[in-house]
C-alpha cells in the first residue's frame, strides 16, 4: 500500500512503502483496542435510555431532577475531556486509557447499587470522567498510529465503537426489560432490572483494561518526550521502511524547543486562541445541537410521548441502534474515497430535511385524553421513517467524520490539548441539549424541540461550506 500523498508539500509526503499484512493487522489491532474506549463511551451514554422512568420512580424525581439524572454524566464528560488532553501529554496516552477503564468499571458498579438520586449522580459524574477522557484519547491515539492512506477508515473505528456500544446498551436493556417484565420489575437476585442494565457495562470495562496492556504507547507522544528509539521501534512495526522519515517529520512539526502544552493553543506572542481551535469547537457543538443524543438518551420516553408503549419504545431503540451501525459502515467505506467535507455536507442536508419533517409531523398531530401526543398509524410510521433517516444521515457524516477531523486537524504540538478543548465543548453542548429536552417537551412539545434541532442542522450547512478544509490523504505533520 502506498502512503504517498500530495506532492506539492514536502511535509505531506512519505516514501512509498509496502505495508505488510502483519503491519496492517497490527495497526488494526491496536486501533481496535483504543476504540473499546469508544464502545464504553457509547454504552455508558446509551444505557440510561430505558431506565429514565424507573430511575424517576425509584428516586421520586421530578422533570428537572430526572433531566439532571440523565445529563449529570455530561458534566463529568466535559471535565474528563478537558483533563485527558493535558494528562495524556504529560503521562502518555496508554496510562490515562488504563485509568479510564478503571473509572468505567467503578461507575458501572456504583450506578447499579445507588440507593438515592445523589448517589446515582455521583457515580454518573464519575462515569462521565471516563467517557470524556475516552472521547479525547481514542481519536488522538488512533490518528497518531494510523498510516495516512487508511487513517480515515481507522479513525472511524471510534464512531463505529460508539454506535456498537449504543446498540449493545439498547439491546441489553431491551432483553433485560422483556425478561424481567419491565425496567422496574425484579430480575436476578430479586434486584430491579434497571440495576442490571448498568452492571452489564462491567464486562467491556474489564476487556478494555486487559487490552490496553498489549498495545504500545503513541510513537508521536514518545518523540515529544525525547524517547526516539522507542518510537522508532513502533513506527517500524506500523510501516516498515518509513520509520526514519516519520520520526524526522514529527520532530520537525514539534520544532524541538519545548514539550506540548496548553500555551500552544494561543497564537504565538498573542492572547488569541488559534482559529483552528474554534473550528474544532464549532464542529463539536453542531454535532450535538442537531439533537442526536435526544434520540439516544430519551428514545424510550420520546416514543412513549408519541404514543408507543414501553416494550415498543425499547424495541424502536434497538432498530435505531441497528440503523446507526449500518450508516457508520457506509461512512467507513466512503470517508477515504470521497473525503470528509462532502460527507459532512450530505449529512447536514439530510438531517435538516428529516428533522424539518419530524417538526411538521409532531406539530400537526393531536393529543389524547391524557394530554399526550397521539400520532395516527400513518403519521407514526412516517415519524419512525424520518427519525431513522435522521440517524442514517448523522451516522454517515457528523457522527464519525467529526471524530476523524478532530483527530486530524490539529498539529502534533497542540493535538492533546486542542482535542480536550473541542471535546469539552462538545460535552457542554450535549449537556445543554440533554438537560433542556424534558423542559422543552413540557413547554413547546416535540415539535418545538425538533424545530430547534432542524435550525441547527440548517446552519451547519453554511459552516461546512465556509470553514471546513479537506484533510483526506494528508499526513498529520502536514496539518
Q: Which percentage of the chain shows pLDDT scores above 70?
A: 80
Grid cell of 197 as nine digits: 442494565
- pLDDT above 90: percentage of residues in the chain: 12
> CB-based burial of residue 256 (10 Å sphere; 0-12 exposed, 13-18 middle, 19+ buried)?
exposed
pLDDT per position as a tens digit, 370-412: 556 666 777 777 887 888 899 899 988 998 888 788 877 877 6
Exposure string of 82-117, with b = 16+ CB inside 10 Å and e = fewer, is bbbbbbbbeebbbebbebbbebbbebbebbbebeeb
The DSSP call for residue 217 is P
The answer on pLDDT for 206 being more than 80 is yes
Residue 371 DSSP class: S
Residues 403/408/409/411 CA torsion (nearest 10 deg): 130
Give the model confidence (pLDDT) of 260-273 as tens digits.
555 666 666 667 77
Using pLDDT thresholds of 50, 70 and 90, give the confidence band for residue 344: very high
More confident residue, 22 or 279: 279
CA angle at residue 208 from 47 to 141, to 5 degrees?
A: 105
User: How does residue 18 score in pLDDT terms, banded at 50, 70 and 90?
Assistant: very low
Highest-confidence range of 329-333, 379-383, 432-436, by mean pLDDT? 329-333
Residues in Cβ contact with 345 at an 8 Å cutoff, skipping those fewer than 6 apart:
461, 464, 465
- The pLDDT confidence band at residue 200, using thresholds 50, 70 and 90, is very high
Higher pLDDT pick, 367 / 280: 280
- Give the tens place of pLDDT for each residue, 64-98: 666 676 677 777 887 887 888 788 888 888 899 88
Choose between 207 and 318: higher pLDDT.
207
Residue 477 pLDDT > 70:
no
- C-alpha–C-alpha distance, residues 99 and 97, integer Å: 5
Q: Which pLDDT belongs to residue 463? A: 94
- Residue scoring higher pLDDT (5 or 255): 255
Question: Residue 140: its pLDDT value, please?
Answer: 79
Q: How far is CA 44 from the centre of its chain?
A: 11
User: What pLDDT does residue 375 have?
Assistant: 67
Q: Where are the alpha helices (DSSP H) in 181-291?
A: 193-199, 202-212, 219-224, 228-238, 243-254, 275-289
Give the pLDDT band (50/70/90) at residue 167.
confident
Residue with C-alpha cell 430519551?
Answer: 298
Range picked from 82-91, 298-307, 340-349, 467-476 for highest mean pLDDT: 340-349
Is the pTM higher than 0.85? The answer reads: no
15, 152, 341, 422, 468 from 471: Cα distances, Å: 19, 9, 9, 18, 9
Q: What is the mean pLDDT of the chain?
A: 79
Specify the pLDDT at position 9.
40
8, pLDDT greater than 50: no
As a whole number of angstroms, the distance between CA 325 and CA 319 comes to 10
Check whether 446 has a pLDDT greater than 80. Answer: no
Per-residue confidence (pLDDT) for residue 58, from 0 to 100: 78
What per-residue confidence (pLDDT) applies to 256? 47
Please report which confidence band the pLDDT of residue 460 belongs to, taking 50, 70 and 90 as the band edges: very high
Residue-level pLDDT at 109: 92
pLDDT at 315: 78
Say what the pLDDT of residue 299 is: 62
| Mean pLDDT value across residues 192-221 | 89
Task: Identify the pLDDT of residue 6.
Answer: 35
Strand partners, 367: 373
Task: Identify the weakest region by mean pLDDT among 159-168, 366-375, 435-444.
Answer: 366-375
Residue 425 has pLDDT above 50, yes or no: yes
* pLDDT at residue 4, as a whole number: 33
CA–CA separation, 184 vs 177, rounded Å?
Answer: 8
Interatomic CA distance for residues 428 and 76, integer angstroms: 10
- pLDDT score for 269: 61
Cell numbers given for 250: 514529527
Amino acid at each position: 500500500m502506498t502512503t504517498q500523498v500530495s506532492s506539492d508539500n514536502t511535509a505531506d509526503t512519505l516514501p512509498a512503502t509496502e505495508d505488510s499484512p502483519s503491519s496492517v493487522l497490527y495497526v488494526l489491532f491496536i486501533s481496535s483496542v483504543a476504540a473499546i474506549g469508544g464502545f464504553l463511551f457509547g454504552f455508558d451514554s446509551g444505557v440510561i435510555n430505558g431506565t429514565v422512568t424507573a430511575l424517576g420512580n425509584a428516586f421520586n424525581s421530578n422533570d428537572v431532577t430526572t433531566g439532571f439524572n440523565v445529563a449529570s454524566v455530561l458534566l463529568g464528560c466535559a471535565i474528563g475531556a478537558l483533563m485527558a488532553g493535558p494528562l495524556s501529554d504529560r503521562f502518555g496516552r496508554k496510562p490515562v486509557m488504563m485509568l479510564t477503564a478503571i473509572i468505567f468499571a467503578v461507575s458501572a458498579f456504583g450506578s447499579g447499587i445507588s440507593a438515592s438520586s445523589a448517589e446515582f449522580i455521583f457515580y454518573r459524574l464519575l462515569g462521565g470522567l471516563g467517557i470524556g477522557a475516552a472521547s479525547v484519547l481514542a481519536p488522538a491515539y488512533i490518528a497518531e498510529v494510523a498510516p495516512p492512506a487508511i487513517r480515515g477508515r481507522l479513525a472511524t473505528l471510534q464512531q463505529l465503537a460508539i454506535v456498537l456500544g449504543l446498540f449493545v446498551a439498547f439491546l441489553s436493556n431491551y432483553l433485560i426489560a422483556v425478561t424481567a417484565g419491565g425496567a422496574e420489575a425484579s430480575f436476578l437476585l430479586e434486584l430491579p432490572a434497571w440495576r442490571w442494565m448498568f452492571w452489564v457495562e462491567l464486562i467491556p470495562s474489564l476487556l478494555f483494561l486487559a487490552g490496553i496492556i498489549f498495545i504500545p504507547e503513541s510513537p508521536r507522544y514518545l518523540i515529544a518526550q525525547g524517547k526516539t528509539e522507542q518510537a522508532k521501534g513502533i513506527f517500524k512495526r506500523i510501516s516498515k521502511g518509513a520509520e526514519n522519515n516519520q520520526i524526522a517529520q514529527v520532530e520537525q512539526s514539534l520544532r524541538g524547543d519545548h514539550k506540548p502544552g496548553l500555551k500552544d493553543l494561543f497564537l504565538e506572542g498573542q492572547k488569541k486562541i488559534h482559529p483552528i481551535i474554534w473550528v474544532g469547537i464549532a464542529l463539536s457543538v453542531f454535532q450535538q445541537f442537531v439533537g442526536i443524543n435526544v434520540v439516544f438518551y430519551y428514545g424510550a420516553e420520546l416514543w412513549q410521548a408519541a404514543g408507543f408503549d414501553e416494550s415498543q419504545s425499547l424495541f424502536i431503540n434497538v432498530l435505531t441502534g441497528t440503523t446507526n451501525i449500518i450508516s457508520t459502515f457506509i461512512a467507513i467505506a466512503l470517508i477515504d474515497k470521497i473525503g470528509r467535507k462532502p460527507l459532512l455536507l450530505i449529512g447536514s442536508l439530510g438531517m435538516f430535511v428529516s428533522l424539518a419533517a419530524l417538526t411538521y409531523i409532531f406539530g400537526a398531530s393531536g393529543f389524547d385524553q391524557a394530554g399526550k401526543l397521539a400520532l395516527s398509524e400513518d403519521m407514526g410510521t412516517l415519524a419512525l421513517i424520518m427519525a431513522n433517516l435522521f440517524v442514517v444521515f448523522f451516522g454517515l457524516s457528523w457522527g464519525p467524520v467529526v471524530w476523524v477531523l478532530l483527530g486530524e486537524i490539529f498539529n502534533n504540538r497542540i493535538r492533546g490539548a486542542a482535542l480536550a478543548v473541542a471535546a469539552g465543548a462538545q460535552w457542554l453542548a450535549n449537556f445543554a441539549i440533554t438537560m433542556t429536552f424534558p423542559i422543552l417537551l413540557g413547554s413547546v412539545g416535540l415539535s418545538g424541540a425538533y424545530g430547534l434541532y432542524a435550525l441547527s442542522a440548517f446552519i451547519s450547512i453554511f459552516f461546512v461550506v465556509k470553514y471546513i478544509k479537506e484533510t483526506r490523504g494528508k499526513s498529520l505533520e502536514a496539518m
